[in-house]
Amino acid sequence: MTTQDRLTKKFLQLVEIDGPSGHERDVADFLSGELNRLGLEVREDQAGEAFGGTAGNLIARKKGTISDAPSILFCAHMDTIQPTRGIRTVITNGTIATDQSTILGADDRAGLAIILETLELLEHRNIPHGPIEVVFTVGEEIGMWGSKHLQVSELVSRTGFVFDSSAPPGAIIVEAPGSIAFEIRVVGKAAHAAVSPEKGINAIQVASRAVADLPLGRFGDTGTINVGIIQGGKAINIVPDEVILKGEVRSPIESELQEKIAYIEDQFVRQAKNAGAHVEFKSNRKYNGFRLGDHEAVVQLAMNAVTTAGLQPSTIRYAGGSDANILNEKGIQTVNLGVGFSNVHSSLESIAIEHLVTLSNIGVQLTQMALNHRKD
């Protein structure tokens, strides 16, 4: 079986296993079998318990054929943003999609398939390599729960590669933003909207004025401000006395995150004070951002692997978070690699089989480039 045939079959097997966030049990069982078949030592942690999931992270280790080479980490996530139960895949001109009744789940079943194929190639072709650790995480799509609860002290690798980006093959993500979520409760005063509206304080109006003053959208390369949820009001004939808004700020720069969060709170407090209302403001950090320079060892290793695989490498700034954010925060210097899936999180999602093959080749090359960092 060729790499392309094996990869296509494996990817299709993976997307046919329903495993949305928190329900990764069947995916984990399938992957455990595959990793065991390939001779890796596999264990499962308790990360799923942190958010009521059915499975934990899978952590596997492949012994190196060269003992003095450094260990590297490959990572992808098991969950999909939506169910894929009943999926019907369609292959057209070398691209895998669905009949649009479900998502494809290439985010991130593609990453899982690529890592498995990389391991297959190393085994079948007897390619020399150093130690390899594999982490398949749970709950990534709902806040990187798996990587947040990963015990990195039990890992040897301090260099990592995540396969989880819609950027094209050859792209190396060296910057991604951190995220702070916020929730704002604006409290006004209820009144009959027809009989005595002047006695009320319209919380929706206060919130609307504040939102109108916010610089929503993108700032810088990867910074964003968004208000995504607004809930309020009880009836059309009552001046609404409460509205709740939820949103987030993203930036790779900590000072920017704090500045934008403070600005948002100030705008709501100012508008509420002007109207005689009051505001309750809460925020919580979802994850930290990261920035890596082109001179960093992990970036150089990735660039060399991409070049050797026949592509032109490019380092990019990416607005989405991933397990790479958490791994960097925990001390494992990690880049996220462009896999090339398209229209993720929608029924139009697709991926080219060629991209799967290319990334598997890059995976093999990463193990080879790591050999250049052997101890003297």
List, by residue number, the catalytic residues.
79, 140
Instruction: Please work out, in degrees rounded to the nearest 5, the angle formed at the alpha carbon of residue 237 by the alpha carbons of 231 and 242.
Output: 30
| Nearest of 30, 134, 140 to residue 366 by alpha carbon | 134
DSSP state letter for 335: E
DSSP state letter for 168: P
Q: How far is CA 138 from the centre of its chain?
A: 11
Tokens representing 324 are 């790479």
Instruction: Please work out, in degrees rounded to the nearest 5, the angle formed at the alpha carbon of residue 307 by the alpha carbons of 302 and 310.
Output: 130
How is 218-275 classified by DSSP, letter by letter? EETTTEEEEEEEEEE-S-TTEE--EEEEEEEEEESSHHHHHHHHHHHHHHHHHHHHHH
What is the rounded distance in angstroms from the CA atom of residue 84 to the CA atom of residue 163? 20
